[in-house]
Amino acid sequence: MANMNVDGPANRVETSAAVALPSAVVDIEDRMPSIVEVPSTRGLRHPVKQIIVRQMDRSGNTLMLALEPLDDDEFYAENANGFSAAWSVGHLACVYDLFSSWFDNQRQLFDRSFHKVFNETEIVDSQPVSKAGSVDRESHPKATMLLRLRQAHVKALQVLSAFDAAQWDAPGPPGTPAALPTCGAVWEHLAVHTYWHLGELAGSMPRFFGTYTMNIVPHYFYPPPESW
């Protein structure tokens, strides 16, 4: 029906299927694509990538602030689980390096010998020394270890920025284990990996017992809701 008459008590309004929109409305419609933008799947502004970035940033900063005050003896000391803070830092650096390399033509920052100490991926016999005992403090000084973690973290962010988020649910790239079946699963693992080791160190290093040092959401000043 082309036209419809609407009778009211004091007036009569005619509407038509061909009613022209006011110019102001047309102007708004023309601008809509620039107001409601679909996030780019490249760069770090995509919402899914922002979750990964925030998780990596929060956990990484928590770890760095907790470990910077340690002297060398405490940094390299073997904990009850056979690990040390030094080994955990090197391990985290290697995992960032390895996992990001799967999306970067296998490019790695660190040589095979470094990865062998901190993230051995070959199936080998049990080693005669613990994880902590495998870290030579002369070859891997504390300041260099913390730098390696920062370098690998930043490299992973650069690779994440270049990654196309449209491929999130696509099969993982060559080299990924079956436990990481999609591209997104690789990044999701990197988002939580440091948290695992924060818990490991918080539960095995006496200096952190009973403290919020490695708590990623410290809340000394948080009042319960009923107190407001």
Structural element, H or E, at residue 3? strand 3-7
Domains detected in the chain? 47-213 (1.20.120.450)
pLDDT digits (tens, 9 = 90+) for 201-215: 999 999 999 999 998
Query: What is the crossing angle of helices 47-67 and 85-101, to 10°?
Result: 160
pLDDT over 80 (residue 20): no
| Residue 228: pLDDT band with limits 50, 70, 90 | confident
Cβ neighbours around 57 below 10 Å, total: 13
pLDDT digits (tens, 9 = 90+) for 63-83: 999 999 999 999 999 999 999
| Averaged pLDDT, 117-139 | 87
pTM for the whole structure: 0.79
What residues contact 34, with CB distance under 8 A and at least 6 apart?
none
Quote the mean pLDDT of the chain. 85
pLDDT digits (tens, 9 = 90+) for 161-179: 999 999 999 999 988 999 9
pLDDT of residue 39: 58
Residue 201 φ then ψ, to 5°: -70, -40
Q: Which residue has the higher pLDDT, 105 or 223?
A: 105
| Residue 42: pLDDT band with limits 50, 70, 90 | confident
| Residue 224: pLDDT band with limits 50, 70, 90 | confident
Q: Which segments of the chain does DSSP mark as H helices, in order?
A: 23-35, 47-67, 72-76, 85-101, 112-118, 142-162, 183-202
